[in-house]
């Protein structure tokens, strides 16, 4: 994560992410970030305009990273089902592997602290558009129902997976390969025209 940043920026972003998840935004003071990251406040302000800028950059960086993970191997000419499964599986795996990034996006995607412009930029560069298109292909190929807008389907499936991941991070349930397979199957079934054998 944050590979495209320099050493100081990376230290600040990583520290900030840890602190925000651990202690809440308002308890994450600049001096605490400075102390924990080993970067002086002065230097932090050399690389970031403000605390708000750090948080927004954090948001942008995580969405970008997650998007790259999810879309890794997406643009092939394999069958729809393969591509869809791969994307959702990668989403689950990156969420579990980088739970703090996942939590941060979940908590702050609605927050007014993240500027609309950053949200839009992140959305545009994310996996949402490509997946919308794939779902449209599935509808056109009469693989998926045509009653629902493809974007609604994507939101639904994203939501299902996100909430199962949340349950796992909360300790309510455990995720293994078999469950991942079944979750994606359920997503497929929820919008498939003909129920296929698992």
Tell me the closest approach of the beta carbon of residue 77 to a copy of itself, in angstroms: 28
Q: Which of DNA, a copy of itself, none binds 171 (CB below 5-8 Å, type-dependent)?
A: none
The entry of a copy of itself, DNA, none near residue 30 (CB within 5 to 8 angstroms by kind) is DNA
Among a copy of itself, DNA, none, the one that 187 touches (CB under a kind-dependent 5 to 8 A) is: a copy of itself
Q: Is 44 exposed, middle or buried (0-12, 13-18, 19+ CB in 10 A)?
A: buried
The interface with DNA within residues 122-151 (CB under 7 A) comprises: none
Q: Please say whether the dihedral angle defined by the alpha carbons of residues 60, 1, 24 and 90, taken in this order, is positive or negative.
A: positive
Q: Which does 141 bind (CB under 5 to 8 A by kind): a copy of itself, DNA, none?
A: none
Q: How far apart are CA 167 and CA 116, in angstroms?
A: 28
128-137: list long-range contacts, CB under 8 Å, 24+ apart.
Answer: 128/154, 130/71, 130/74, 130/75, 131/84, 131/87, 134/80, 134/83, 134/84, 134/87, 135/84, 137/80
Residues 36-75 that bind DNA (CB under 7 A): 39-43, 45-47, 50-52
Query: Of a copy of itself, DNA, none, which one does residue 173 interact with (CB within 5 to 8 Å by kind)?
Result: a copy of itself
Q: What CA–CA distance (Å, rounded) separates 187 from 173? A: 18
Q: With H, G, I as helix, E, B as strand and everything else as coil, classify residue 122.
A: helix
Sites of contact with a copy of itself (CB under 8 A):
21-26, 103, 106-108, 110-113, 145, 147-149, 151-153, 155-164, 166-167, 172-173, 179, 182-183, 186-187, 189-192, 195, 198
**Residue 142 DSSP SS3:** coil
The C-alpha atoms of residue 143 and residue 103 are separated, in whole angstroms, by 33
Nearer to DNA, 18 or 51 (CB): 51
Pick one of 4, 24, 27, 120: the residue that binds DNA (CB under 7 A): 27
**Contact residues for DNA, defined by CB under 7 A:** 8, 26-32, 39-43, 45-47, 50-52
């Amino acid at each position: 994560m944050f590979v495209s940043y320099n050493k100081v920026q990376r230290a600040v972003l990583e520290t900030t992410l840890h602190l925000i998840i651990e202690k809440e935004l308002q308890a994450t003071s600049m001096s605490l970030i400075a102390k924990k990251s080993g970067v002086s406040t002065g230097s932090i302000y050399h690389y970031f305009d403000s605390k708000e800028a750090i948080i927004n950059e954090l948001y942008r960086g995580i969405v970008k990273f997650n998007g790259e993970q999810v879309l890794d191997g997406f643009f092939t000419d394999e069958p729809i089902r393969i591509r869809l499964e791969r994307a959702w599986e990668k989403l689950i795996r990156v969420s579990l592997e980088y739970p703090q990034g996942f939590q941060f996006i979940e908590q702050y995607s609605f927050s007014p602290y993240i500027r609309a412009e950053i949200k839009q930029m992140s959305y545009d560069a994310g996996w949402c558009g490509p997946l919308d298109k794939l779902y449209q292909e599935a509808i056109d190929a009469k693989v998926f129902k045509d009653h629902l807008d493809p974007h609604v389907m994507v939101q639904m499936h994203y939501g299902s997976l996100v909430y199962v991941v949340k349950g796992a991070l909360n300790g309510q349930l455990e995720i293994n390969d078999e469950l991942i397979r079944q979750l994606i199957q359920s997503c497929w079934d929820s919008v498939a025209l003909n129920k296929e054998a698992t």
